[in-house]
Structure 1
Amino acid sequence: MYSKLVEDLDGLPALLDAARAQAGELLAGVADRPVAVPPGTFEPAELPEDGVGARAALAEFGRRWAPGFAASAGPRYLGFVTGGATPAAVAGDWLTAAADQNPVSSLDSSASDLERETVGWLAKLFGLGPEFSGAFVSGATMSNVVGLAIGREWLGERLGVTVADAGVAALGPVEVLSGSPHSSALKAMSVLGLGRSALRPVTVQPEREAVDVEALDRELAALGGRPAIVIANAGTVNTVDFDDLRAIAALKAKYPFWLHVDAAFGGFAALSPEHAALVGGLELADSVCVDLHKWLNVPYDSAIQFSRRLDLQVRVFQNSAAYLGHPGDNPDFVHRTPESSRRLRALAAWCTLAAYGRAGHREIVERCVAHARDLGDRLAGTPQWRLLAPVRLNVVCFTLAEDPTQERIDAVVRAVAAGGETFVTPTVYAGVPALRAAFSNWRTGREDVDRIFAALVSGSGAA
């Protein structure tokens, strides 16, 4: 055995203690470190011929790389929709690495049963019944890929074609209808061979991102009975707008379509009694996407996909190899998603759900919503900023009050990031260059909103 491996194996407890101490330092300072660190000049090092051992490698990471990491796990990182990681989720993720289980097969461990239990817990959290099966995937993009792949197979079933065998060309033209699809849905369509051009945009409601259901009705009628896929949104990225899922699902009585709901982070509205109506009808979907490294606050990467047609899912993703076994009535995860091997993502989710339950995660959701409303009210009361949409849940979409050009918005983004107090991402809403602040971190408190607001007011001076 290589000498450095022997040394590290002999000193493994001390090595893990050193890693714990280094991680503890990272997390202890996460509220005070610069929230974003604009990258500098990058010069890659040469691959070492002889290793330095794990302790020295940890020290090298601390010297070269840790200072340049964003404090994205901290309370004032509002870019994209980025959760942190609860203490229980961090602990679960460490155990995931230590146990190093591959849960796609149930032949050798209980890991797949842990995932099944966690999937069941999450289904109840989102109000999905026992007719739904689910599996962990890497993120919302892959969840959309899986859901739309099952929808693609459903199209084939309606047309008498087994797409998994015959290929997507056997379907002929495919129509995918949506009002405000996320970019990852278009990526999924490209990956699946449907093509981005298969999207048929549907009119949205005035000053909304939610689809006009009457317009959707007309678009479906124009297909003349040909089956289609409808992508509905439970929380758009700019304004967290929600399609009327019940009204859309009701159209299935008249038209044949697969209803895929992208609830990447908006699905967590189900935890709050005040906001649960926003996802009313989620249980009527055929497939559902939810991203867990957002509002569940588990480490990257983690998402889940749900579907009510496990048979079609297995038809698409089955891995036909003698050593993997036949799918059977309760197929292993190797037959449910694109991956034939992956880490036990479910463990971090299981830990945080076991540790804090529905009540703890409901408190996180409701607190984030309260902070978003607070920031929205403050920005609306300033002469520098104006809101572009109501704060419906946890995202504030806003722009400069005067002359909001892309150049000026970009200057603000750079100034705010350079200040180190917070980080927000640019967007364009209704043709207007803008900013969006997404609250989804369990650490964020009222004092952080004070600092975020001050940084945005100060950053507006760079425009």
Structure 2
Amino acid sequence: MKLQEDLKHTDRLLQLTKEFSSKFLSSLDRLAADKMVDIPVRQVMPAEGVGGVAALELFRQQYGNAVTAAVGPRYWGFVTGGVTPAALMGDWLAATMDLNSSDKGSAAFAIETETIALLKQLFGLPEAFLGCFVTGATMANFTGLALGRQWLGQQRGIDIGKEGMAGLHDLQVVSCVPHSSVTKSMAMLGLGRDNVVKIPALPGRESVDISALRAYLESRNGQPVIYVASAGTVNTVDFDDIAAIVELKKQYPFWLHIDAAFGGFAACSEHYRHLLNGWEEADSITIDAHKWLNVPYDAAMIFSRHPGLQVDVFQNAGAAYLGDPAENFNFINHIPENSRRLRALPAWFSLMAYGKDGYRHIVEENVALAQQLGGLLNEHPAFRLLAPVRMCVVCFTLNVQAAEQEEAVDRFLLALNATGVVCMTRTVYAGQPGIRAALVNWRTTANDVQLAFQTMKEVVATVLNLYTYA
């Protein structure tokens, strides 16, 4: 039986996997940051199996040419960090040990508890917050909104976690520039993605107009809502004025959830920490780990001041084998997932290996490189910044006539990503078609910025022959 044969040769399989991984990592600079993938041949499910060695070779043949350097220094598409060496060590061990991080019968529970404590120190969050690992920012936002929904029900004398939402109406989620994962979570929670109330932003910003928010809250006549604050918008890394929102919280009833998926890492630098002033007064906070923490997918944290509400929503009621949620703390009674990979371990390794200074350097270096790219674009007549470079995202467009802009942007981005040198993504900002480059990878250097910009100049010289400068 192939499985028993592989058991006898596990060391060899691990060595082959290590060699494949090492070769991949050493070739990051030569691999395309992005490419169009076409896998014409589909494998047939084998009756007996081929064993681990042959499976690795099949993988190499089937997918080897389609693997991209998404972990590399010039992948600036999704806000995705690379994987630090120490995080890779932790992830390998997490897979090897295959521990359920909610199991108190192993070190897993203690590892997650300690990692959350380390993260609160890194971000300067009070001990009052309970932190839990989830799969990503979407599930963290889902959890924060689920708690807000439970709180809204309490304000009306209803335990939504127990009784459901029948008879409830006008449960509103309010925001200025919410991430798509917020409205997706609203759909999953039965709040309805169309029921988000968008408050105007300040002129030329993605930061909420506090006076408009105050007027909206006043119009509610004391009816509570959920407010989702942005701590780093996806287009321009703009921040709501959290301190001002906290002051409003003293006057009006609302649940304050802060989506700080990557903007929360501003706390690592004394230059940017002020952007989060007041966030310690939030009810719940989302921070993503597979973004600026530079650990592997999938990992994020939800921090909450209300563990009791979490139990109301997420408890495993009636599961005797899991124990009484009221008597024995367990992460599974505070978040959506029961079966939970030890995703805290890569974070623990990376935090211990590189410390506060290491993460301060990553954040400040990425911001400096984004500003360098922004400066280069600003000086070139073919490009135009759509917003100031506030932190790690550069949002820009092509300097062509408005009627031609959308087509020109599409052509340019398609051609740029096809080079494989760098990957960026399409966006729309202030109604204008644009492009965004997100720099959150620990590997990125000034040389990468120069190489990417040189490629951009070569591509745009070809594309703009078809269009008219604005």
2:218 maps to what in 1?
221
2:188 maps to what in 1?
191
1:426 maps to what in 2?
426
Distance across 1 between alignment mates of 2:209 and 2:266: 21
1:462 maps to what in 2?
463
Secondary structure of 2:290 counterpart? helix
2:169 maps to what in 1?
172
Indicate conservation of the 8 Å contact 1:209/1:239, yes or no. yes
Secondary structure of 1:347 counterpart? helix
Match of 2:250 among 240, 253, 262: 253
Per-residue deviation at 1:334? 1.1
Indicate conservation of the 8 Å contact 2:39/2:63, yes or no. no
Give the root-mean-square deviation of aligned CA atoms: 1.1
1:377 maps to what in 2?
375
Show CA shifts across 1:334-377 (max 9, x none).
10111110210000000000100111111011110010000000
Match of 1:393 among 391, 399, 408: 391
Matched, 1:280 2:277: yes
Match of 1:158 among 155, 158, 182: 155
How is 1:257-276 mapped onto 2 (pairs within 5 angstroms)?
257-276=254-273
1:443 maps to what in 2?
443
2:365 maps to what in 1?
367
Match of 2:114 among 113, 117, 120: 117
Indicate conservation of the 8 Å contact 1:105/1:324, yes or no. no
Distance across 2 between alignment mates of 1:285 and 1:124: 17
Distance across 2 between alignment mates of 1:229 and 1:105: 33
Secondary structure of 2:158 counterpart? coil
Point out the more displaced range, 45-54 or 236-245: 45-54
Distance across 2 between alignment mates of 1:149 and 1:318: 13
1:411 maps to what in 2?
411
Secondary structure of 2:303 counterpart? strand
1:239 maps to what in 2?
236
Point out the more displaced range, 434-443 or 56-65: 56-65
Matched, 1:35 2:33: yes
Secondary structure of 1:297 counterpart? coil
With over 3 angstroms needed to count, the CA separation of the structure-2 counterparts of 1:407 and 1:329, relative to structure 1, is farther
Indicate conservation of the 8 Å contact 1:180/1:236, yes or no. yes
Point out the more displaced range, 40-49 or 218-227: 40-49
Point out the more displaced range, 139-148 or 162-171: 162-171
How is 1:3-14 mapped onto 2 (pairs within 5 angstroms)?
3-14=1-12
Distance across 1 between alignment mates of 2:324 and 2:167: 27
1:24 maps to what in 2?
22
Secondary structure of 1:258 counterpart? strand
1:139 maps to what in 2?
136
Matched, 1:289 2:286: yes
Structure 1 stretches lacking a partner, 5+ long: none
Match of 2:400 among 402, 421, 424: 402
Q: Which consecutive segments of 4 or more residues in structure 1 shift more than 4 A? A: none
Q: Percent identity?
A: 48
2:468 maps to what in 1?
none
Show CA shifts across 1:135-173 (max 9, x none).
111111000000000011111111111000111234321
Matched, 1:342 2:331: no
Secondary structure of 2:46 counterpart? coil
Point out the more displaced range, 169-178 or 242-251: 169-178
Secondary structure of 1:171 counterpart? coil
Give the letter for the 1:213 counterpart: I
Secondary structure of 2:166 counterpart? helix
Distance across 1 between alignment mates of 2:177 and 2:254: 18
Show CA shifts across 1:98-153 (max 9, x none).
000011232x2120111011111112211210110011111110000000000111
With over 3 angstroms needed to count, the CA separation of the structure-2 counterparts of 1:455 and 1:329, relative to structure 1, is farther
Distance across 2 between alignment mates of 1:23 and 1:368: 25
Distance across 2 between alignment mates of 1:243 and 1:415: 35
Structure 2 stretches lacking a partner, 5+ long: 465-470
Give the letter for the 2:160 counterpart: V
Distance across 2 between alignment mates of 1:171 and 1:38: 47
Indicate conservation of the 8 Å contact 1:155/1:171, yes or no. no
Indicate conservation of the 8 Å contact 1:264/1:290, yes or no. yes
Distance across 2 between alignment mates of 1:253 and 1:418: 52
Per-residue deviation at 1:392? 0.2
With normalisation by structure 1, the TM-score equals 0.98
1:300 maps to what in 2?
297
1:333 maps to what in 2?
331
Per-residue deviation at 1:252? 1.2
Point out the more displaced range, 349-358 or 334-343: 334-343
Per-residue deviation at 1:329? 5.5
Distance across 2 between alignment mates of 1:411 and 1:152: 43
Give the letter for the 1:332 counterpart: N
Distance across 2 between alignment mates of 1:146 and 1:330: 21
Give the letter for the 1:84 counterpart: G
Matched, 1:44 2:39: no
1:358 maps to what in 2?
356
Distance across 2 between alignment mates of 1:276 and 1:26: 36
Secondary structure of 2:29 counterpart? coil
With normalisation by structure 2, the TM-score equals 0.96
Give the letter for the 1:141 counterpart: T
Indicate conservation of the 8 Å contact 1:38/1:417, yes or no. no
Indicate conservation of the 8 Å contact 2:177/2:233, yes or no. yes
2:467 maps to what in 1?
none
